[in-house]
Structure 1
Amino acid sequence: MAELEVMTAPTCRDAAEQGGDMPSQRGGVPRIAVGVGSSAATHAAVRMAAREAALRGYELRLVYGLHRVPEELPDGASFPAAETLLDHATAAARAVAPQLTISTVIHEGTQTAALLRESRFAELLVLDADGLDTSAGWSLDIPAMRLASRADCTVLLARDEGRDEWPVLVGVDPSTGGERALEFAFDAAALRDSDLVVVRVGPDDKADPDGVVAAQLAETVEPWQEKYPDVRVRREVRYGEPAPVLIDLSRDAGLLVVGACGQRPRSAPLAPVAQAVLRHASCATAIVRRIPPGDHAVR
């Protein structure tokens, strides 16, 4: 198994309060974090996280939350059940990408709390779809919803494997969040060598007889197209409510990208559109909070 760390809550608090790295962070190497468990959804999340880490050249961080970890660990202390799950997750990740750099950690606390701590130091947090029953009502008590609302980094919900070569779909608006989502989407399409579909949703086509929205969209996309000249881009203007439009288009996409907060960043921890697509989209879904600072080469 990859080197295992066991972290009590005080250790994590100390690292955060001092503004430093987690003890395992390797000299600024970007990382992708993902939770480990026994469900099929968590297994799918580990595989997706491994693919993303391999594409980006990042470290993969496998995370498990344990309710109680003694602050003073005796020599030779072990947690067999947790370590077995981490062993299996490590093997699954290496089956996807044998050369990955992998670290594993057991945190004191719930799985949600463990992943929130790790999101402070990760560039991307991959979530599983456990609990996201599309027939259920809204609930930030569902782990994926809570994590997407409170994580300090961009989150990626693993859903419907086997679409790696399908187009990347991004919904944009005039907000800063829309610009960040567009940057993430261009980078994702370049890494995957896939098409990119950029969608702007307007309220009513009758209110835009001169095609102003389409012109604004072209102007927004142009600098990113120049930065990523090899990405094949299709721009689309649709009319209606953004969430249903994007959910419908997600049936033909491999990845859907939206900003976390829309045009009202202080109104809610997660914008209504982001909540809706997280619950109902047909493909993997990225909720963008910040852009990784590393230099992402087009591959």
Structure 2
Amino acid sequence: MPLTVTVGVDGSPQSLAAVDWAAREAELRGLPLRVVNAWQMPYPLPEAPEAREALEHWARRVPRETGERVRRAHPSLELTVEQTDGRAGEVLSAAAEGSALLVLGSEGLSGMAGYLVGSIGHLLLGEVAGTPLVFVRSAGSGGREPVPDGPVVVGVSDGADAPLGFAFEAADRRGCPVRAVHAWRVPGYFGYGLVSDDSLTSGHDQREAARLADLVRPWRERYPAVPVHEETVAGRAVDALTDASDGGALLVVGHRTRRLPVGARAGSITYGALHHVPIPVAVVSYR
């Protein structure tokens, strides 16, 4: 079975924004688009046949209208539309297998509407490993259309090769630059006035810039046609990535796969990016 770009839908504005982004991405990749709608059959079912028919009619409406939306905008795109009876998290986690990426709608962490937003989407961050997740916000939830020729912004840290590879591949596919951002923490003693010589701060920044260059160099060599801008920032990574994403095509962040007693969880940078960044955010796991 060939890889697909898979998108979860529930009829909300956020999921429709995700469908539109996923369809364009599938065309860029030359892959089929798979639209998945999870719908759990209520129990007990209504006794009246008319009530059951009405229930099934409204349940089928979301995948049907979503499929029509995609076919109108992308008539040549290979498309499959599925509706699966089951819990959304389980259905989408299974759908991620064999997918090049899984695309979901998002309102940010404060959003309450739509089962793909909030608990389900964030649960998948811990459950889905090996398949990148892309979160797309609608205009109504503070999202912005990505700038087609804007940079692919990627947060860079030690050992996180997978997000860098995803970012360079995405930029190469779009014909746009990569903006590689590395945030570093100011040593605590700077804040207590114990260091008056700014040369120490600038020296630290120079070391971090050299470290960033070393991490990016293999990908520059692999994708020589992709322009790269490297940026080191002293401060919080979430703030640096939010600022760098302004005018961007896509933000790529890494998610270190780790198991905790309460299950796998994404880190604060990932959650912060999903909360603050208005353009699509790709979360790429690494060990």
Q: TM-score range by the shorter chain?
A: 0.7 to 0.9
Aligned residue runs from structure 1 range 119-268, under 5 A: 119-130=96-107, 132-133=109-110, 142-152=119-129, 153-159=131-137, 160-175=144-159, 178-204=160-186, 206=200, 209=203, 211-261=206-256, 265-266=258-259, 268=264
Structure 2 counterpart of 1:3: none
Largest Rg, 1 or 2? 2
Question: What's the CA shift for 1:105?
Answer: 1.5
Whole-angstrom CA distance in 2 between matches of 1:68 and 1:116? 19
Question: What's the CA shift for 1:120?
Answer: 2.1
Task: Please tell me whether the aligned partners of residues 131 and 142 of structure 1 are also in contact (alpha carbons under 8 angstroms).
Answer: no
Whole-angstrom CA distance in 1 between matches of 2:35 and 2:276? 26
Counterpart selection for 2:29 from 39, 52, 56: 56
Q: Which moved more, 1:203-212 or 1:213-222?
A: 203-212
Greater fraction of residues in helix? 2
Gaps of 5+ in 2: 44-52, 138-143, 188-199
Question: What's the CA shift for 1:266?
Answer: 4.5
Report the TM-score when normalising by structure 1.
0.75
Counterpart selection for 1:282 from 270, 278, 282: 278
Structure 1 letter corresponding to 2:238: A
Report how many aligned residue pairs link the two structures. Answer: 249
Task: Please tell me whether the aligned partners of residues 185 and 234 of structure 2 are also in contact (alpha carbons under 8 angstroms).
Answer: yes
Whole-angstrom CA distance in 1 between matches of 2:107 and 2:88? 13
Structure 2 counterpart of 1:42: 15
Question: What's the CA shift for 1:217?
Answer: 1.2
Question: What's the CA shift for 1:265?
Answer: 3.7
Whole-angstrom CA distance in 1 between matches of 2:132 and 2:38? 20
Whole-angstrom CA distance in 1 between matches of 2:107 and 2:154? 24
Counterpart selection for 2:71 from 60, 83, 94: 94
Q: The residue matched to 2:179 in structure 1 has which SS?
A: strand
Question: What's the CA shift for 1:79?
Answer: 4.0
Cα deviation digits, residues 50-91 of structure 1 (max 9, x gap): 011111111211111121399xxxxxx994333332222122
Whole-angstrom CA distance in 1 between matches of 2:119 and 2:77? 30
Whole-angstrom CA distance in 2 between matches of 1:94 and 1:213? 48
Whole-angstrom CA distance in 2 between matches of 1:149 and 1:208? 38
Whole-angstrom CA distance in 2 between matches of 1:266 and 1:215? 32
Cα deviation digits, residues 18-58 of structure 1 (max 9, x gap): xxxxxxxxx3x111111122221111110011011111111
Alpha-carbon distance change, 134 to 105 in structure 1, aligned in 2, over 3 angstroms: closer
Question: What's the CA shift for 1:282?
Answer: 2.2
Whole-angstrom CA distance in 2 between matches of 1:266 and 1:247? 27
Cα deviation digits, residues 88-117 of structure 1 (max 9, x gap): 212222334322111122212122321111
Q: State the percentage of identical aligned residues.
A: 30
Q: The residue matched to 1:289 in structure 2 has which SS?
A: strand
Report the TM-score when normalising by structure 2.
0.78
Task: Please tell me whether the aligned partners of residues 153 and 181 of structure 2 are also in contact (alpha carbons under 8 angstroms).
Answer: yes
Structure 1 letter corresponding to 2:101: L
Whole-angstrom CA distance in 1 between matches of 2:146 and 2:209? 32
Q: Pairwise CA RMSD of aligned residues? A: 2.6
Structure 1 letter corresponding to 2:244: L
Whole-angstrom CA distance in 1 between matches of 2:277 and 2:218? 28
Task: Please tell me whether the aligned partners of residues 69 and 108 of structure 1 are also in contact (alpha carbons under 8 angstroms).
Answer: no
